[in-house]
Amino acid sequence: MVDTTPDTTPLTGQGHGGGPAPQAMAGMQRLMDHFAGYFAVSVLGLGHRSGLLAALLEGGGTAEQIAARAGAHDRSAEEWLAALTAAGYVRHDQGSFSLVEGQDAVFRPGLLPFDVTVFLEFQEKFGGMIGQVATAMREGTGVPYSAYQPEFGRLQDRLNGPLYEQFLISDFVASAQGLVGRLEAGVDVADVGCGGGQALCLLAASFPASRFVGYDIDEGALSIAAARAAERGLGNVGLENRDAARLELDGVLDVVIAVDAIHDQGAPDEVLAAIARALRPGGVLLMVEPLASGELDVDAARPTALMGFATSLSHCVQVSLAAGGPGLGAMWGKSRALPMLRAAGFRTVTTHESPADYLVYAAYV
């Protein structure tokens, strides 16, 4: 005889007759919070792509009014606004919707050292890479840098602009003793992994007595950098397609800048050694990397840790592994960076924790 009694065992419980375990309930709440965050970001991304977010930033109103400003469909706008109301971004009052007080400032330039909408587009890009990254995670092959391009490079370029304007000179460069004065007097400077030239051109414009060259292996990025330098009329900027691990320079530079670049390399130890050889005695490498100690229990407690590790898994680790590297990842941290710098030939290293959530290393030969 078949027992047709329904199974009422709680999904998170102790068995028949027992309530859910507190640990299981806490685990379920944690998971639901993360699901909610994922869907909130997805909905914001849809609003950005459809124009509804920009329309909402222009002012509140009914779903029909906001949809009309965006050129969007009324019903979709209504559901989008309902989702953001549930997420806590939007306030609803008798059919009218508006951003909660202070929320609009987060979506506008100025408050944060980055454009929030660029992060929404990054999320979209990474979502499209899940299949390739998952395969690479199983097979250990990594995902080549070219697979992320050109979208990733363009997004990175847009993301870095406000960050550099706010922190590059006043914080990153100023943290290295005497570096501002040397740049003002005139020295030879290289930007390793210059990308689209945001940092390179800002430095060249700020220190016209110094001579700058940007190195990168991405021709598309170098084209953007060349256009940016030409647009600003910078005659003290040069650009070269050159592998950082094979600079083949000997004592010809005074300063090397490497922002968010070393951890992605296929041979980071060789890159650092090549930079050390390229510097004249007393020369300095200004290496800017995400703020991390390299100790998981310490770094995991930081508010930005989840974003850092997730981004690193989806991009930084994979790019390095695909190039035959160790896959340092963005969160490699101070405990691993300092020994590598010293092994590469840097005799003195100082560090500075930037309020931009970066760690700035000034390494001297």
- Do 90 and 155 fall within a single domain? no
Among the candidates 72, 107, 142, a domain finishes at: 107
Angstrom distance (rounded) from CA 129 to CA 106: 27
For 7-42, the pLDDT digits (tens) are: 544 554 454 556 678 889 999 999 999 999 999 999
- Do 233 and 346 fall within a single domain? yes
- DSSP H helices in 191-278: 198-206, 219-231, 268-278
Q: Residue 212's beta-bridge partner residues?
A: 189, 237
Residue 340 CB-half CA count within 13 A: 21
Sequence-separated contacts (24+) of 225-230 with Cβ below 8 Å: 225/194, 225/195, 225/196, 225/197, 225/200, 225/201, 226/197, 228/196, 228/197, 228/198, 228/201, 229/197, 229/200, 229/201, 229/204
pLDDT at 17: 52
φ, ψ of residue 260 to 5 degrees: the values are 55, 35
- Do 335 and 234 fall within a single domain? yes
In a domain, 16, yes or no: no
Q: What is the mean pLDDT of residues 87-96?
A: 96
- Do 85 and 135 fall within a single domain? no
Q: Residue 99's beta-bridge partner residues?
A: 90
pLDDT at 111: 77
For 216-251, the pLDDT digits (tens) are: 999 999 999 999 999 999 999 999 999 998 899 999
In a domain, 6, yes or no: no
pLDDT at 110: 75
- Do 123 and 87 fall within a single domain? no
* Domain count for the chain: 2
- Do 223 and 264 fall within a single domain? yes
pLDDT at 39: 96
Among the candidates 107, 140, 161, a domain finishes at: 107
- Do 318 and 170 fall within a single domain? yes
pLDDT at 97: 98
In a domain, 4, yes or no: no
Task: Record the tokens describing residue 160, joined without a space.
Answer: 């870095």
Neighbours of 21 (CB within 10 A): 13
Angstrom distance (rounded) from CA 103 to CA 286: 36
For 253-289, the pLDDT digits (tens) are: 999 999 999 999 999 999 999 999 999 999 999 999 9
Among the candidates 107, 131, 149, a domain finishes at: 107
In a domain, 14, yes or no: no
Neighbours of 354 (CB within 10 A): 15
Neighbours of 294 (CB within 10 A): 16
In a domain, 102, yes or no: yes
- Do 72 and 132 fall within a single domain? no
In a domain, 281, yes or no: yes
Helix (H) or strand (E) holding 253: strand 253-259
For 109-132, the pLDDT digits (tens) are: 777 788 889 999 999 999 999 999
Give the range among 149-163, 315-329, 341-355 with minimum mean pLDDT. Answer: 149-163
Angstrom distance (rounded) from CA 171 to CA 81: 39
- Do 181 and 326 fall within a single domain? yes
- Do 161 and 211 fall within a single domain? yes
In a domain, 2, yes or no: no
CATH of the domain at 170: 3.40.50.150
Mean pLDDT in the chain? Answer: 93
φ, ψ of residue 26 to 5 degrees: the values are -65, -40
Total number of residues shown for the chain: 365
Neighbours of 115 (CB within 10 A): 18
In a domain, 177, yes or no: yes
CATH of the domain at 98: 1.10.10.10
Domain that holds residue 44: 22-107
pLDDT at 2: 47
- Do 31 and 137 fall within a single domain? no
Helix 268-278 vs helix 334-343: crossing angle, to nearest 10: 50
From the list 145, 142, 148, the residue with the least C-alpha distance to 129 is 148
- Do 186 and 295 fall within a single domain? yes
pLDDT at 114: 83
Helix (H) or strand (E) holding 167: helix 151-167
Residue with tokens 């924790």: 353
Residue 3: pLDDT band with limits 50, 70, 90: low
Nearby residues of 110 by Cβ (< 8 Å), 6 or more positions away: none
Q: Could you say which DSSP state residue 250 is in?
A: -
pTM recorded for the entire structure: 0.88
Q: What is the mean pLDDT of residues 313-335?
A: 97
Q: What is the mean pLDDT of residues 48-58?
A: 96
- Beta-strand relationship, 358-364 and 348-353: antiparallel
